[in-house]
Amino acid sequence: MTFYSYAYLTHQNSHHTLLQLTVIGIIVLIIAGLSWLWYRHKTDLKYRDLFIIMVLILFLLVGIQYNEFQSLRSSFSQKSQVTQIMQRVAEEKGVATTAVWSNTATVSSGMLIAVRHQIYNVTLNPDGNSYTLTNATPITKPIKYVKEGQ
């Protein structure tokens, strides 16, 4: 069973997105260079063909990036709900948020919250505006705690 720290859930970022944005920027520069070469050498069709290929690759990457952006936004929304519950539990139990851990990054009834080695089952009401904590005992004993930067 794996539990994630509050800091891990709030500071998790995607380096993959940064890499894709860098590639898109490079392709835009290549397109600019190819369009200049195409303009200078109007009779040489290889620059036009390369220009068209690069524009198509750019459209493909922009589409992929948009799709990833939508999934990241949904994931961020889920993580922010989990961190809000973790903040409330920390306030209720009188501990810092560094002592609160969650076993999932998505909000659902049945998620587990660990507070200083005490584990609670979170039951959400149907409209998702409140929750109930009940003591829980894990069946599997090796519990892994994932902190920020891991």
- The domain limits of the chain are 2-146
Average pLDDT on 116-121 reads 88
- Return d(Cα 117, Cα 120) in angstroms, integer: 10
- Return d(Cα 108, Cα 123) in angstroms, integer: 8
- Return d(Cα 117, Cα 132) in angstroms, integer: 18
pTM above 0.75, yes or no: no
Reported as a single tens digit per residue, the pLDDT across 76-115 is 777 778 888 889 989 998 999 888 999 888 888 888 999 9
- Which two three-digit tokens encode residue 34? 């190819």
Reported as a single tens digit per residue, the pLDDT across 124-138 is 888 777 888 889 888
Q: What is the dihedral of CA 26, 28, 36, 47, to 10 degrees?
A: 80
